[in-house]
Structures are given as C-alpha cells and as structure tokens.
Amino acid sequence: MKRVAFVLLLSMAPLSAWAAGCTRGQEQAMTCAEGTVWDPQTATCVPVVTG
C-alpha cells in the first residue's frame, strides 16, 4: 500500500509545477515606470541617465 501511494505521489508531482504556473520556455515582459529601464544585473528598474 505504501508503494502504491508513493508511486501515485510521484506521478502527480509534475502537475503541481504546471498548476503553479510553470513558465518554462516562455519569457515574461518586464515593464518599468516611465523614466526608468530594466537593469538585468540588479534585476530592478533604474532611472534613465541622459546627458
């Protein structure tokens, strides 16, 4: 019985990743406020410096 429960649990593990919104193979668009741009090194929006 324990073995059946274990196999059932393992077979359902990929479903939890799918239900959580797995985004593998997709890119999400990052939007920053006006006057800022995305900085991938800091993973934040930083002010645009002009001049």
Confidence of residue 31 (pLDDT cuts 50, 70, 90): confident
Given phi > 0 = left and psi -120 to 50 = alpha, else beta, which region is 40?
alpha
Task: Give the per-residue pLDDT at 46.
Answer: 95
pTM for this prediction = 0.40
The one-character DSSP state at 48 is -
Q: Which residues contact 45 (CB under 8 A, 6 or more apart)?
A: 32, 33, 36, 37, 38, 39
Residue 24 has pLDDT above 70, yes or no: no
